[in-house]
Amino acid sequence: MQSRIRNEQLKEKIMSPMEASKLIKDGMVIGTSGFTPSGYPKVVPLALAERVKRDNEKMKLTLYSGASLGPEVDGAWAEAGILAKRLPYQTNKQLRQDINCGKVEYLDMHLSHSSQYLNYGILPRVDVAIVEAIAITEDGNIIPTSAVGNSPSFIKSADKIIVEISSKQPVELEGMSDIYMLENPPMRTHIPIKTPGDRVGTPFIVCDKDKIAAVVFSDMEDHVRDLAPISDVDRAISKNIINFLEKEVSLGRLTKNLLPLQSGVGNVANAVLAGLCDSTFENLVCYTEVIQDAMLELMQCGKIKKASACSISPSPRGLKSFRENIDFFKDKIILRPLEISNSPEMARKLGVIAMNTAIEVDIYGNVNSTHIMGSKIMNGIGGSGDFARNAYLTIFSTSSIAKGGKISSIVPMVSHVDHTEHDTMIIVTEQGVADLRGLSPKEKARLIIENCVHPDFKEQMRDYFNRACEVCQSCHTPHILEEALSWHANFVETGTMKK
Ligand code: 0RQ
């Protein structure tokens, strides 16, 4: 393991995770590597949580990351009561509870804004960055593991850096990253990437070696999560999206190579991609943020040629296959900093096809991706908005019902808005597809009701919309204000949206 520290001077900085954790003091801002839980530090965060609990120490930290982190950080720190503030994304059950009961302040941000806010000086600087690495180069630069995330910005901003050298992450990951940083924000020059496979940076994160205050060794794996088996509903959504894309090809608006694909995370997103394996599309490329199982499988079956992302986050089964075939994947995957993988400039320039999942959608095409019944956060907007607003095609999918049919995922008015009707283009449920492009609000509503609403809620929705049109005859976007959120209120009161 010592050979992974290629700078002799830095070998003097080797210490135990517990010693390294002492660099972290109450009130600090901590920035970590990691993205959807992959490539995040583990042994130092766990040592800190253990120390705080053991010594009953006062410790309240602000934690920045790329996206969600594993239980060794978000879970352990929430459990130890260490977190005062968290940004820009999380998926941890304990942390979610703490956020929703007001114990932890949470900033749910467009991921591409997170490093930008730091670089613009809007967010406080990072005191200590903790970064998982494959190795440190002769010059003290850092070779990231399975996620680049926001590490380059945190390393640049931090006063001190703790490096966790991982023995579990394969050395073959070296060379997969392409680190290109934006210069002189907020004035920008264009990002010189023309196709998703282009490499324009360095295979390491530039780091001032004098800031490296500790180097620790870690033998802990990423806590990757299982994907649920693909359900019939997921399969139907996937089929609807693929049929829609095939129609676009037949209309001459897309070719069989489509355009660079972006896909959100989760079961539905994975199922949608999995469906592409049997499609007629070929020579596909991805410009996305997370590489899940289906994307790896599509590379193996020859459908996808190249994928640009900022992290690889497969299931345990997918991870095994990735590790066994890492030489095959090496020249097909490019891992970039978050501000490049999620750059609005890139999504617009490449003409990305953005496919993300909604919690609920309203009849006018507004999408809620983050909040249950308008007030409880689920995960966060993540990168969905970075792509949705700027893509060539913006697709949102959801099952038409939730909670065993008690909830309609298509509602008169969303209880929280993440993506507005101006950003969304295609709404897909297992019932069908609504192509909202070129339609007025009333036209959109009729199409969403007829094509996407579950049969159990269709009459109720038609009734709402027809009455809204009557009450509000000259309105552009008809609503009955006192009723628009009554489906949610009804669910909260009675346990069902059915009237
Ligand atoms: O609740 O966990 O209590 O069972 O929401 O729903 O159907 O399992 O779907 O795992 O694909 O997640 C939008 C949350 C979907 C995710 C969301 C309840 C449902 C269940 C989860 P339970 P499913 P998925 C790339 C892009 C935002 C970020 C994003 C997400 C739970 O995709 O976080 O897109 N997206 N980032 O029962 C009440 C409804 C509901 C509902 C579902 N209408 N009302 N509850 N649920 N619909 C990634 C990154 O940026 C990092």
CA distance 177 to 204: 7
- Those residues whose C-beta lies under 8 Å from the C-beta of residue 302, and which sit 6 or more positions away, are none
Q: Is 0.90 topped by the overall pTM?
A: yes
Quick check: CB of 93 below 6 Å from ligand 1? no
CA distance 169 to 90: 23
The pairing of strands 410-411 and 407-408 is unpaired
Locate the ligand 1 atom nearest the alpha carbon of residue 68 and give its number: 51
Rounded distance from Cα 234 to ligand 1 centre (Å): 13
Residue of 263, 355, 378 to test ligand 1 pocket, by largest number of atoms within 8 Å of CB: 378
Which is nearest to 449 in space by CA: 481, 408, 495?
408
- pLDDT tens string, the chain, 499 residues long: the values are 788 999 999 999 999 999 999 999 999 999 999 999 999 999 999 999 999 999 999 999 999 999 999 999 999 999 999 999 999 999 999 999 999 999 999 999 999 999 999 999 999 999 999 999 999 999 999 999 999 999 999 999 999 999 999 999 999 999 999 999 998 778 888 999 999 999 999 999 999 999 999 999 999 999 998 888 889 999 999 999 999 999 999 999 999 999 999 999 878 888 889 889 889 999 999 999 999 999 999 999 999 999 999 999 999 999 999 999 999 999 999 999 999 999 999 999 999 999 999 999 999 999 999 999 999 999 999 999 999 999 999 999 999 999 999 999 999 999 999 999 999 999 999 999 999 999 999 999 999 999 999 999 999 999 999 999 999 888 999 999 999 999 999 999 999 999 8
The answer to whether residues 303 and 242 touch, using CB atoms and an 8 Å cutoff, is: no
Lookup result for tokens 């617009």: 348
Return the pLDDT at 267.
81
Report, as residue numbers or ranges, the catalytic residues: 289
Which is nearest to 373 in space by CA: 422, 406, 420?
406
Residue of 40, 230, 262, 265 to test ligand 1 pocket, by largest number of atoms within 8 Å of CB: 265
Return the pLDDT at 108.
98
Lookup result for tokens 């008690």: 406
- Residue with the smallest CA separation from ligand 1 atom 19 is 402
Quick check: CB of 266 below 6 Å from ligand 1? yes
CA distance 149 to 39: 9
- Tell me phi and psi for residue 148, to 5 degrees: -95, -45
Residue 486 φ/ψ region, left for φ over 0, alpha for ψ in the -120 to 50 degree band, beta for the rest = alpha
Rounded distance from Cα 210 to ligand 1 centre (Å): 43
Return the pLDDT at 188.
85
- ipTM for this prediction: 0.98
CA distance 81 to 52: 9
Quick check: CB of 272 below 6 Å from ligand 1? no
Locate the ligand 1 atom nearest the alpha carbon of residue 360 and give its number: 43
| 169 residue type, one letter | Q
Sign of the torsion angle spanned by Cα atoms 80, 124, 150, 22:
negative
Locate the ligand 1 atom nearest the alpha carbon of residue 36 and give its number: 51
Quick check: CB of 69 below 6 Å from ligand 1? no
Return the pLDDT at 367.
98
CA distance 369 to 418: 6
Q: Which tokens is 59 given?
A: 């410790």
Which is nearest to 279 in space by CA: 246, 230, 317?
246
Q: DSSP strand E in 310-419: where?
A: 311-312, 333-335, 353-357, 360-362, 367-368, 371-372, 376-377, 393-397, 401-402, 407-408, 410-411
CB crowding 411-443: b at 16 or more within 10 Å, else e: bbbbbbebbebebbbbbbbbbbbbbbeebebbe
